[in-house]
Structures are given as C-alpha cells and as structure tokens.
Amino acid sequence: MVKLRKILASSVIVVLTIFLIFPLQQVFAQRELQPNLGVKVKPTLTIDGNSYKDLNANGKLDPYENWQLSEDERARDLVSKMTLEEKAGLLMIPEFPEFEDGKLVLPNALLDQNTRYFIYRESPSANTIADYNNQLQEAAEGTRLGIPVMIISNPRNHGTSIQALVNKAPGRPGQFSFWPNTLGLAATRDLKLIEDFSKITAKEFRATGIRKLYGYSADVATDPLWSRIDETFGEHPALISDIIYRIVKGYQGHVLNENSVTTTIRQFPGGGAREDGKDPYFEVGRFNIYPTKGSLLRYHLPPFRAAIEAATTSIMPNYAVPSNISANQGLPQFSQTQQFEEIGFAFNKPLINDYLRRELGFLGYVNSDMSAVVNRAWGALNLTTEERFAKALNAGTNIFSGASNPTPIINAVNQGLVSEEVIDRSARFLITEMIMLGLFENPYVDPAKALETVNDSSSQKRADDAHRKSIVLLRNDDNLLPLTDNKLQNMKLYVQVFPGGENGQNTQNLKELMRNFDPNITVSDTLEEATHAFIWVMPSMDLFGQSKITLTIGPDTDIFNIERVSEIQKKVPTITAIDFKNPWLINQIEPNAASVIATFGVKPESLLDVLRGKFNPVGKLPITIPANQEAINNEAGDVPGFREDPSYIYVDKNGNKYQYNFGLSY
C-alpha cells in the first residue's frame, strides 16, 4: 500500500510538472499557426490550406510530419517508423562531420547511420557556422526519414585576458560577444545582468544554428586545487542556484520552442568534491569522496535542483565514481553494506533513475560526458562495450557524447542486455526535443543574419558592463586608485604582464592598448624611470597536460619569473592585478603591493575603466582565497571555503579577510 501511494504521488508530480512546463493553451495556440517551412530537398503537402513537409516523401501526411499534433504524438510515430539501427545511431554524439574547402564531405557515414547530434568546437565566423549548419541540414533532409541535425557547442562567449591581449578572444568581428568567465559573472552578483547574458548569448547560438549548449556547470567549487574551478560560478550553492536557474530560463525560455537553445547542465551530482584536485577525466581522479557528513545534499545538489526547477532539457553526469569511504550523505543505501554503487555516475542507476528522476523529479534526458561509456568508463572497464552501453541505458543515460559507433547498442539489444523499449524511450526524448525546437519544420538559418547578430554592438556593450562589474578590488592603500587625471600628471607607469608571452608580446600589447586607450597615461618602458607600476599576474593550470597540481604562483602555474613581481613591487608603488582561475596562494605577492585587484577573464579595456575611475568597482569574491599551503592541506575537499575553519581564509596586510563575498569600492 505504501508503495502504491508513492507511485500515485510520483505520477501526480509528473503530471503537474508537465502542465507547468508546457502550458496547454500556449502550446496548442502555437500549433494552430502555419510555421515557416524550410525545404531544400523533400516535397511539401498542402492540406486544407496548410503546408507540411513530406519528410519521408511517401506522398501522404504522417503524424510526425504534422505540426498540428502534440510533440509526443509526433515523436512516438517517428520512433515507430525507425529501425533499431536508426535509433541506435541517434544516440551517438561524435565530433562534427568533415568539411573540405567549406563543403560537407559526402557521403557521410555518420549521417547515413542516422546520427544527428554533433559537437562543434571550432570558431570560424558566425556566417560560416550557419552555412555549415545549412549544408548538414540539407544532407539530413535528404535521408529516408528526413530527421534534422542538432549542433551542440560548449560555451563560446568566454576567453582569457591573455587571449584578449593578442586578439584571440571572442568579441572580434564575426565572433560571439565576449563576456567574463563564469567566476567573473558570479563576481558581479548582478542576476539581471546574468539573465541578459544568457538571453544575448542564446540569440547568438540560435542565429548560427547551434541549438544545444553543453553548459553551464552547476558544480560547487569546494576543492581549491581542482583545475576546472574557472568553469564554475564559485563556491556558494545559493548563488550558483540562482545563476543556473536564470541561465536555463534565458537559453530555453519558459516553454521550449523555435526560439530556444536547450541546456545540458553538468556534472551531476557535482564535480567540485575532488580529492587533492585530481580530475575524473583521468583514472587517478576517478573517485568522488565526501568526507563531510551530508555535504552532497547540503552543498552540491542544490544547483541541480534549481536546474530541474527551471526545466533544463538535459543533465550530464560526472565521470566520477562515488566512494564508499565517504561520510554518510543521507541518501538511500545501495546495499546493506554499501552507501553507493561504486561505478561512474553515467552507469549509476541508484543516482540517475532512482534519485535524479524519481526523487528530484527530473523529466528531461541524461547526456553522458565525453567517452564516459567508452574509455573513461570508471568502475565499468571490466565490462564489454555492449555491457557498458546496456548498463548506462538501463541506469537512465539516454545519449552518449564521444561515441560514434552504434553497433554495440544494436548488439546489446540483440543479446538481451537491454530492451528495445529502453532505446525507444531515449529516441523519443531526442526526437521530442527536436520537434519542440521547430527543427522538423525549419532547421535552416540565414548566414547574413548570423553575422549581423554576433556583430550587434549592443550585445558587446552589455558584456562590457559585466566585465567592469566582475572586477574585485581587494586592497587600495592610500587611495592609490583610481588613477585620476590629477594623479596621472606626475606619474610614469611601468607595465608588465606575467606571463609576458613570446618576446614579451603580452606586455607589449598591454602597453600599446593603454597608450591608445588613454593618452593621459604615461607608460614607462623601464622600471628605473617609473614612479609607479601596474602588473597583471595570470597563473594557470593545464588540466589536459596534467601539470603539477598546485596553487603556488610560480613555474608550475606558468609564471616563470615570479621574483620579478617582488622586485617591481619593492621598487615603486605597484598596482597588482591577479587573474583567478583558481584561488591562488598569493602570500608572496600581496604584501608588497600598493593595491590588489582580482580579475576573472576580464577584457583589458574594462579593467582600465576601473583603474581610471570611470567605473567604481563593485565585484565580490566568488571564491575564498586560502591562507597558505597548510590551509590547503587541511581543507575538507567537499565543503566551500566560507564553511572551512577560519584559519583557512587569507588575511591581507591590512587585516582584510579574502573570503567569499569580500570586495571593496573606491
């Protein structure tokens, strides 16, 4: 009886959620209007004054071709017409098809096997991306059932400050608008601005034909050593939840439709709980360990709840394996002796089907991370390829990034490892998504319009607001900043970037930018002639190069002449900007600075606006800066910095604590 009540309660929740996400009147009102049909290959049908695409060219209107029917009716009809081979092909997400001299190479084996989801990583001009989309869509339209293509991309609107200095960041003509990185967006604390960011960037995606975003990260940055912190919105679950909710709504809208870009929120149930910074992309970092009781529920899951509340279309599980050496996390036990099934989250039925779907109420589909079921199948490497796909599908994963060969899925069905009904369910998720996005009616875009959209100056103007608001003033002795016209009259400013780039190119570009930006700034080429200095320190960690995991600013974080920083600071009063991809150890360079600024992938011109006082800094730290190496050694790994022992927090020479939410103004 208890089980029956749970089933009934779950059914009511699902029905109510569907009604809230897809208001019936609005959906049916849209279906009554003739959509604009994009047709290049297949014939059309005219029935009672309405036009439809005859996607299978059989001369009659099939339910999946009828835009007046519900998405569910259309998807079920199409899936019923697909062979097992076609359905299995649909569940693959390989790299983008090959183009030569701007033309799609045909025949294309991936399209021929009915693969329709592709990840695109290159950054040509927007009109080129739009043209590639159109060529792919035309080839797909010409296939047996005319199923359109879904182009996927990681975020495209962020770059490093060094890339900006050498003109390789977004924001150039033909490129997407350039915004601060995710830590920088969090530092603004401006939720309306972040909402605008998501709407503006979604419009750019949509204009080029990219309709699915791998993003954004709902991970909570609890291990300062983790090299992906600059992909997160920091360490506070409440702020991250607010941001994730607005990003999903900004990209998707309140109802998924032809103006939407779908989101794939990652990496469930949270990638921030690392062990000494080791990333689960590599086998050495495969375990998620939660040493603090209840930390998973308290800190890591709230942003995913927010994503579900906002109706994100898909969620991406982490590569990692939950470790049973963890403290009790308050979830249902996997067995009498084990808290978790120690297998990668993409295979983990207790956490995907049982918890994510049934407990949290997630109604979308689950998208595996890159090669998570192939060569990064942690905890499942002992299984055959067929067994891995079957286990992931039975656990609730629906589509596989980094996979291009559908044969193992076909074999798994034929071997009885997974039922074809499970494959059908995954296919219906994907076909429904395409239908709701309007791709079956018109998947084509206008390359000229794409170029016009990304070149819209109002978009970059709003992005520049975000850049300025992302800058955090940490210290400002004797009110050195802002650099007013009066102060600049007798000031000669020595400028240096760390790393300086090949032949000092980064430094030279910043000097030139400063001279062109404001003729009142006198830049000195030698320290001996300078009265003051501005230095910009930009450490980094190379995840894929597997560099040494450390937060010490020095050779291991690509700053090879760190001694020069102290030399400059001790010679003249020095404004010291530090770009935080991670919460670096700054105890070697903070005390000797006259002023300290935190940046997060900021546009150099926006930083100069703050230095000159054209904008009063308002940014707040999205992460806590650790005091020293001992603090890092003692931190929990699964708890945000603001919840660590007070000894964890860096205290500057003036007694200010550089913890989450700290930031000064002029």
Asked if residue 16 has pLDDT above 60, the reply is: no
Residue 542: which pLDDT band, with cuts at 50, 70 and 90? confident
Considering the domain architecture, whether residues 407 and 549 belong to the same structural domain is answered as no
pLDDT of residue 11: 37
8 A C-beta contact, residue 368 and residue 152: no
Asked if residue 148 has pLDDT above 90, the reply is: yes
- According to DSSP, the β-strands at 314-317 and 365-368 are parallel
pLDDT of residue 264: 98
Instruction: Report which of 354, 332, 224 is spatially closest to residue 649, judged by C-alpha positions.
Output: 224
Q: What is the pLDDT of residues 627-657, one digit of tens each?
A: 999 999 999 999 999 999 999 999 999 999 9
Residue 655 located in a structural domain: no
pLDDT of residue 18: 39
Asked if residue 1 has pLDDT above 80, the reply is: no
pLDDT of residue 546: 64
Can you give the residue range of the structural domain that contains 346? 2-453
8 A C-beta contact, residue 405 and residue 437: no
CA angle, corner 640, sides to 637 and 646, nearest 5? Answer: 100
Q: For residue 135, is the peptide bond before it cis, meaning its omega torsion is within 30 degrees of 0?
A: no
Q: What is the pLDDT of residues 210-265, one digit of tens each?
A: 999 999 999 999 999 999 999 999 999 999 999 999 999 999 999 999 999 999 99
For the record, the structure tokens of 418 come out as 């997974």
Residue 548: which pLDDT band, with cuts at 50, 70 and 90? confident
The residue-averaged pLDDT of 155-177 equals 97
More confident residue, 546 or 177: 177
8 A C-beta contact, residue 208 and residue 96: no
Place of tokens 């978790």: 340
pLDDT of residue 23: 37
Beta bridge partner(s), residue 494:
524, 533
Considering the domain architecture, whether residues 370 and 408 belong to the same structural domain is answered as yes
Residues 532 and 530: their CA atoms lie apart, in Å, by 6
CA angle, corner 591, sides to 494 and 614, nearest 5? Answer: 50
8 A C-beta contact, residue 598 and residue 623: no
Residue 463 located in a structural domain: no
> What is the tally of helices (H) and strands (E) in the chain?
22, 20
Beta bridge partner(s), residue 476:
595
- Four-CA torsion 301, 305, 307, 310, nearest 10 degrees: -170
Across the chain, mean pLDDT equals 94
Residue type present at position 385? T
- With residue 260 as reference, give the H or E element that holds it: none
Residue 236 located in a structural domain: yes
Residue 660 located in a structural domain: no
Backbone angles phi, psi at 81, to 5 degrees: -90, -15
8 A C-beta contact, residue 574 and residue 480: no
Give, in order, the Cα–Cα distances in Å from 274 to each of 220, 230, 288, 615, 629: 11, 15, 6, 37, 17
Asked if residue 103 has pLDDT above 50, the reply is: yes
Residue type present at position 465? D
8 A C-beta contact, residue 159 and residue 168: yes
Considering the domain architecture, whether residues 428 and 477 belong to the same structural domain is answered as no
Considering the domain architecture, whether residues 146 and 16 belong to the same structural domain is answered as yes
pLDDT of residue 6: 38
Residue 591: which pLDDT band, with cuts at 50, 70 and 90? very high
8 A C-beta contact, residue 156 and residue 121: no
CATH code assigned at 636? 3.40.50.1700
Residue 12: which pLDDT band, with cuts at 50, 70 and 90? very low
Considering the domain architecture, whether residues 438 and 509 belong to the same structural domain is answered as no
More confident residue, 544 or 382: 382
Residues 6+ away with beta carbon under 8 Å from 117: 90, 92, 93, 149, 150, 152, 212, 399, 430
8 A C-beta contact, residue 644 and residue 296: no
Considering the domain architecture, whether residues 87 and 24 belong to the same structural domain is answered as yes
More confident residue, 21 or 43: 43
CA angle, corner 216, sides to 578 and 344, nearest 5? Answer: 105
End-of-domain residue from the set 426, 453, 480: 453
Asked if residue 8 has pLDDT above 90, the reply is: no
Give, in order, the Cα–Cα distances in Å from 346 to each of 267, 295, 319, 389, 408: 10, 21, 7, 10, 17
Total number of domains constituting the chain: 2
Residue 659 located in a structural domain: no
pLDDT of residue 543: 76
Asked if residue 274 has pLDDT above 60, the reply is: yes
pLDDT of residue 31: 63
Asked if residue 294 has pLDDT above 80, the reply is: yes
Considering the domain architecture, whether residues 439 and 572 belong to the same structural domain is answered as no
Considering the domain architecture, whether residues 478 and 620 belong to the same structural domain is answered as yes
Percent helix, strand, coil in the chain, to 5, is 40, 15, 45
8 A C-beta contact, residue 304 and residue 298: no
6-20, 131-145, 262-276, 516-530: least confidently modelled range: 6-20
% of the chain residues with pLDDT over 90: 94
DSSP line for 271-325:
S---BTTB-TTSGGG-EE---STTHIIIIISHHHHHHHHTT-SEEEE-S-EE-TT
- Four-CA torsion 380, 384, 386, 391, nearest 10 degrees: -20
The residue-averaged pLDDT of 373-388 equals 97
Residue 9: which pLDDT band, with cuts at 50, 70 and 90? very low
Residue 662 located in a structural domain: no
Asked if residue 10 has pLDDT above 90, the reply is: no
Question: What string of H, E and C letters represents the secondary structure of 160-206?
Answer: CHHHHHCCCCCCCCCCCCCECCHHHHHHHCCHHHHHHHHHHHHHHHH
The residue-averaged pLDDT of 593-615 equals 98
CA angle, corner 95, sides to 90 and 100, nearest 5? Answer: 115
8 A C-beta contact, residue 475 and residue 664: yes
Asked if residue 28 has pLDDT above 70, the reply is: no
CATH code assigned at 386? 3.20.20.300
8 A C-beta contact, residue 197 and residue 179: yes
The residue-averaged pLDDT of 499-517 equals 96
Residues 445 and 135: their CA atoms lie apart, in Å, by 11
Considering the domain architecture, whether residues 547 and 503 belong to the same structural domain is answered as yes
- Cβ neighbour number for residue 36 with a 10 Å cutoff: 11
8 A C-beta contact, residue 133 and residue 151: yes
Residue 13: which pLDDT band, with cuts at 50, 70 and 90? very low
Considering the domain architecture, whether residues 174 and 47 belong to the same structural domain is answered as yes
Considering the domain architecture, whether residues 490 and 376 belong to the same structural domain is answered as no
Residues 157 and 234: their CA atoms lie apart, in Å, by 18
Q: What is the pLDDT of residues 431-487, one digit of tens each?
A: 999 999 999 999 999 999 999 999 999 999 999 999 999 999 999 999 999 999 999
Considering the domain architecture, whether residues 180 and 250 belong to the same structural domain is answered as yes
- Four-CA torsion 352, 356, 357, 359, nearest 10 degrees: 130
Q: For residue 640, is the peptide bond before it cis, meaning its omega torsion is within 30 degrees of 0?
A: no
Q: What is the pLDDT of residues 111-123, one digit of tens each?
A: 999 999 999 999 9
Question: What string of H, E and C letters represents the secondary structure of 97-146?
Answer: CCEECCEECCCCHHHHCCCCEEECCCCCCHHHHHHHHHHHHHHHHCCCCC
pTM over 0.85: yes
pLDDT of residue 426: 98
